[in-house]
Every structure is written in structure tokens, then in C-alpha cells.
Homo-oligomer: A and B are copies of this chain.
Amino acid sequence: MERTLIGETPKLVGKTVSLSGWVNIRRDHGKLIFIDLRDRTGIMQTVVIPDSKEAYETAKKLRSEFVVEIEGLVKARPASAVNQDSSTGGVELEAKKVNIISKPEGELAIDVSQESLDLKLETLLDNRTLALRNEKIKSIFKIYSELLSAYDEVMRKEGYVEIKTPKILSSATEGGANFFKIKYFDREACLAQSPQFYKQAGVSFFERVFEIGSVFRAEPHYTTRHVNEYIGLDGEVGFIKSFQDVMDELEKVVLSCMDSISKNCQEELKKYDVVIDESKPIPRITLVEAAEILEKEFGKKLENLDIDAEGERMICEWAKKKHSSDFIFLTNYPTALRPFYSMPGKDPEFTETFDLLFRGLEIASGGQRIHDYNQLVENIKKRKMKPEQFKDYLDIFKFGIPPHGGWGLGSERIVQKILGLGNIKEAILYPRDVKRLTP
């Protein structure tokens, strides 16, 4: 028989179907054996009665995570037994044939059938492939998949061309020490810690580009918001009038992603008791204003305007209270804290840049870039770096390029904060940190 997906069964009451999936859990109630069967579309209760002799004998052997094929009759459950929380809670399968497709070897370290896995993060990550069978944990990555799709969709709609740029670089282009080094045949190379230079080049031929790609950071961080490999959602846009235009674009994009997730992931969000607010304009304040608010409202003083994780949480708290917004843009970061290619403001101590914060965490960084060749050369020299080291990058600005800017969004941080996950690693299938390169 052709396979039927569990999600389709509510429309098939009275029909005989063949389901395939995993045994989420087996329960024996007197003579009856109940098997909660799990496939990619949901979980469904199947009942095996002793009269179906062969099926019954097989069912007795089943344990959690056996892969099985069950043929049977779809029946409506009595009103009193309907499970309202599940889209298949109104039906069950009366099994006629049970066939074992594949079975586990040895003991399972985790019981994934529980609603919520109350385990230490390290245990969850050590047993990652198994833990990912849990419906609640799976929800994280359904939302993640939706985010990727939503970002792709809104960027294309707004006229951005998707590009893929190299991750192996000849040198540490942006300067700094946070590059992983590779042995590249007979020489040394680096892993890209952002597509910055290539997406700026992209503006010079496509005006608007976006990339969804791997980002590698050799920073020895041990925090709940850092990992050493993640997926960046980058965008870069030309012909802007000011860096406010860049924020306008990013605001549109981020809010559109939130709308898509809210619309298409209701069941997944519910597992985390999360509601996504309706879109509203994102407040924008300068870092100087933020510092004043922090001092006045929270008694917190910023050293050299360098806002830390605590400051970011507080300013988000303020944005929520004052503007009922989960998001806030902090703008005009000091020149000393931003890369050399940042467009200076009218006061050259500050830049035309911003961070986007969401529920206490920085999720994006961006701004307008310098597009004048000579100004860029001067800025490189001012930072005591050598323009010769930036030859390929500087070439972009020799050919005529419009005013432009862009952003880098951390995809996993968005999902972390939507679901209120304690650690970014929970939002990554197989996270990489200083200590962890497995599984």
C-alpha cells in the first residue's frame, strides 16, 4: 500500500491506510497496546487489539524509536477522548498489520517522547541527533527553516539578487585576529568572518544583494550568545540617501520575517508559549541617547559609550516599556568602535552605523559605508593599516560605486530570542564552540 502521512488522516476517517514512522512511545493498557506513531507531519495514536494476532505479536516487541509501518483503519475518537492540542487528536488508527522496518541498537540515552526534555545543555548536545527527535526541539528548526525562507522571499521581493561569496580568503581582509587559518595547498589562507567586502562589490554590479551563508569567528567566547560558526543573513543596498535608508530596509525585512513565522509556525510557537507581536515601527535612538537613558532609568554608566550585554538588555527593557517594541535601533556608534569602512557622521567622532537589538540581544549590525576611494584610503591610513593590503577591496571603489550600506543579521540569534532559549546553541543543529566540534 502507498504510504499515507499522519497529517492527512483526519480527512480519511473510515478508510484503511498505511502509515510509516517512529514509535514515539508504546503503552500497554490491559489487553490493548497503544502505539503513538510519529512521522514528519505529526503524532497519532494507534491501537492494536489481540484479535489482530500477527499485528499484536509484533506490537509486543516494539520499543521507542522502532521504525514501523502500520496498516489499519482510521477512526474518529469519541468526543471525550479528543486531544485538542494536536491536529490529529480527533482520530486514531485501529491497526491491522504491523511491520518493523528498522530498529534501534541497544539503549537510548534520552526518552524523546516527553513533551519537554529537562536536561542539561551539554547532555542535549552530546546526544544531539537523538534529542532532535523530540517534537519541541524539532519546532526550533522548523521555525529556523521558515526564517530562512522568509528572509529569502522578502529580499527577492525587494529587488535583491542572491549571491554566494567565497569563504576561503587569501588574507585576513578586515584586519583583526578573529580569523581561522587554513592550510590551502602550499600556502596559508583564512576563513571568511563576513561577506563584507564581496557584498559591497555586489552593490557595484547588482545594486542590491543578499547572502545566506556560513560565517566563521575565531573568538574564544564562552557566552550564551556566541558560537564560532553561524549562518549570517547579509544584505547590502546601493543608491541610499543616508544610513536611515538602510535601517528602513532592514526594518521591513525583519518585520516581514516575524510576520511569516507568526503566520506559518503557530503550532511550533505554541510549544514555547510564545506570541509574536504585530509589526510596528522600530524606535531609533542614538547611542548617546541610550547612554543617557541607561544612566537616568537604570543608574548604569557606559564607559566610552561601549554598551555591554547588560546595557543591551536594559535598553530593550526600556524600549518595551516606552514604545511597546521588542526591537530597537541604536545608532551613531563611536568611530573607535566601528570598522574603518564605516561612514563618518557630521561629527567625525561618530559613524553612520547602527545595531538592531531584539528582546535584549544584538541581532544585527550595519550602517552606511564609505564609497569614495580617497576617503577610504585616508581612513585606512588613519587606523595605521596599509592600503596595499586592501588592494582588491579598494579596487571596488576605483570603478564608480554609489552611496550604499547594509547589515549582517545573525539568523540563530533571532530564533533564540523568538523562543526565549537560554543559549544560542539550542538554535543550532550541531553548534561549534571553542570546545565542541562534535557530533
| A residues whose Cβ falls under 8 Å from a Cβ of B | 3, 20, 22, 39-40, 65-67, 101-106, 108, 129-130, 132-133, 138, 141-142, 144-145, 148-149, 152, 156, 159, 161-170, 180-185, 189, 191, 198, 201-202, 204-208, 212-214, 216, 218, 220, 228-229, 231, 239, 371-374, 392, 395-403, 411, 428-432, 434, 437-439
Contacts and interface: CB of A to CB of B under 8 A. Distances in A.
Q: How many chain copies? A: 2
18 contacts: A40-B206, A65-B400, A67-B400, A102-B371, A103-B400, A104-B400, A129-B204, A129-B396, A132-B205, A145-B161, A145-B162, A166-B431, A168-B229, A168-B432, A169-B437, A180-B182, A181-B182, A213-B213
A430 B103 contact: no
A434 B102 contact: no
B145 A400 contact: no
Contacts of A159: 40
A241 to B, nearest CB: 9
Nearest to A137: B205
Given A141-B163, A181-B182, 12 more contacts: A40-B206, A102-B401, A102-B402, A104-B398, A104-B399, A129-B205, A141-B161, A148-B162, A198-B430, A202-B429, A212-B212, A213-B213
A231 B400 contact: no
B165 A208 contact: no
Contact of A216 (B132, B168, B231): B168
A356 to B, nearest CB: 21
A409 to B, nearest CB: 14
A399 B162 contact: no
Contact of A373 (B105, B204, B398): B105
A184 B34 CA distance: 49
Contact of A191 (B129, B145, B182): B182
B164 A429 contact: yes
A429 B198 contact: yes
Contacts of A104: 398-400
A25 to B, nearest CB: 13
Given A129-B395, A130-B399, A398-B104, A39 B145 contact: no
